[in-house]
Amino acid sequence: MSVIPSKENKNIEFKEKLIPSIHLKDAKKQHLASQMKYVLEIGKGTAIYVIGVNDDGKAIGLSDLEFEETVAVLKTIAVENGAQISKIEKFAENGSLIGKLIIQRISENGIKSHIVVATCGHVNAGKSTIIGTLMTGVPDTKGKHWLYLDTLPHEIERNLSADIHYALFGFKNGKPLHMKNPLDKKERSKVVETSDKLISFIDTVGHEPWLRTTIRGLVGENIDYGLLVVAVDDGVTYITKEHLGLLLAMNIPVIVCMTKTDKSGHKKIEETESQLGELLKNVGRIPYMIKNIDDLNVVIDKLDTIVPMVKTSAVTLEGYDLLNKFMLSLPERRKNFDKPFLMFIDKIYNISGVGTVVSGTIKQGRLQTGKELLLGPDKEGKFRKVKATSIEMHYHRLSEADTGFVVGIAIRGVDHEELERGMILASEELKPDVIKSFEAEVLVLTHPTRITNGYEPVIHLYTVAESARLELFGRDYIKAGETAKVKATFKYSPHFLEEGDKFIFREGKTKGIGTVTKILN
């Protein structure tokens, strides 16, 4: 016999009643969606909603109409989270109704939850080491864990990352799935196959000359969270500020990881913590040091304003238990499962026996093996039909891939020489337009003098990196800290973009952010 929970606990949520005309409006809908994401995370893909009761669990009761309306609202919110109502139970209470709803994530690939985390920070701050230590679960006493990422020969020789690297970290039943050798393809594949929560890491570059590559990683990979890494012995640097600004500009929630605590004394640790606190307060964020598991519950649903900080050492494993639990509890964000499939192409390969393979992060929708897709636009602004013959994620073959998955897709119908970074793969239902110019609202972050009509920065939008000419509306120039409405026209090739897309523009020491407000042609 089914029992109605008597109190809210972990993945159990009480609701009195929900009204579509009220609770499906923007602000309330977003609040309910965020709340359900968190409850689903805590419940490892399952949430229990009891309706017709107040916050204390006292039965209020619903009419038949109120019951159906409340169920309809929760059904809509569930779809937003890639979930569905799997069971509804009704109970009579003094002539009215209360209900118990079981909500579960939908997954054809076995992975119930997936998020993308980008590591940022100064060169040698320990970005790759954090990922390697999380994946293995053992201390990095020899300083070699960074080699567990797919590094290039010249990077190994110089001990310096020069390109974006990818890694994964999985959980099963709330416990991390550690790998003995993260470079082993079979071990990676097994993690993808067995995880019920998967973290895809995008490891960006900390060296200033490769800032363009870092921007590509943050803008092009559909990032859910940013892990800003600060070495205690270095403290806050120019790159720390630069990368934090980029994360906040793209509305990406930030987690700060203080590394190398074993190498520094108490005074230096306090000094770096104080520097970070001041930096975060200056950009309108609240720093919050995570000291125990209970602190996670304080910040997990407030990451739009609070920046949690964790002290770690890869040598002693200080803080890694908290970091593990943090990664496990982070809810999914921006999962557009119900939209047409869209992926911006980041890397292109020609693999013997397979043919043309493109990789990137799925921006929206779901893709099944064998589906016909549109590829483009080319320099003439045309799309062509191709077929997705296979999908892989960290060497594991998938029959279906979801929003946010970092995947390699083998395609038939085009040679790899015809492809360029910044093209898209999309389902025909999207009906993508070819865009040469658009209007945008821009904010200049840094500039040594002023920007005038005809200024030509490089625009970074997803994996697109293209020079564009800017024309100002209603003014002769703009300076650092100022906003303006502009018309942007790509200089060489057309691209695909949509209203609401965010981008970063840069040229020399000039950097700014923008939002597409209107498509022109």
Neighbours of 481 (CB within 10 A): 10
Return phi, psi of residue 370, to 5°.
95, -5
The mean pLDDT of 209-213, rounded to a whole number, is 57
Alpha carbon distance 462, 81 (integer Å): 23
Residue 334 has pLDDT above 80, yes or no: no
Average pLDDT over residues 40-52: 86
Element (H, E) at 189: helix 185-194
Per-residue three-class SS string for 25-45 = CHHHHHHHHHHHHHHHHHCCC
Q: Give the Cβ contact number of residue 325 at 10 Å.
A: 16
- For the chain, the first-to-last Cα distance in angstroms comes to 62
Average pLDDT estimate for 203-224:
67
62's CB contacts (< 8 A; 6+ apart) are 17, 51, 52, 70, 96, 97, 98, 99
**Same fold for the domain at 342-430 and the one at 437-519?**
yes
CATH match for 437-519 among 2.60.220.10, 2.60.40.10, 2.40.30.10, 1.10.1740.10:
2.40.30.10
In this prediction, residue 220 carries a pLDDT of 63
Q: Is residue 153 scored above 70 in pLDDT? A: no
Pick the CATH number of 12-105 from 1.10.3210, 3.40.50, 1.10.10, 3.30.110: 3.30.110
Task: Give the whole-number percent of the chain exceeding pLDDT 70.
Answer: 90
pLDDT at residue 316 above 50? yes
What is the CATH number assigned to the segment(s) 342-430?
Answer: 2.40.30.10
Fold of 113-329: Rossmann fold (3.40.50)
Reported as a pLDDT band with limits 50, 70 and 90, residue 439 is: very high
Under a CB-based contact definition with an 8 Å cutoff, are residues 178 and 148 in contact? Answer: no
Q: In this predicted model, what pLDDT tens digit does every residue of 455-496 receive, in sequence order?
A: 999 999 999 999 999 999 999 999 988 999 999 999 999 999
Longest dimension (CA), the chain: 76
The pLDDT, as a whole number, for residue 211 is 60
Write down the domain spans for the chain: 12-105, 113-329, 342-430, 437-519
Q: In what order do the strands lie in the sheet with 165-172?
A: 175-177, 165-172, 197-203, 113-121, 225-231, 254-259, 306-311, 286-289
Q: How far apart are CA 513 and CA 480, in angstroms?
A: 11
Coil, helix or strand for 250? coil
Rg value, the chain, Cα: 24
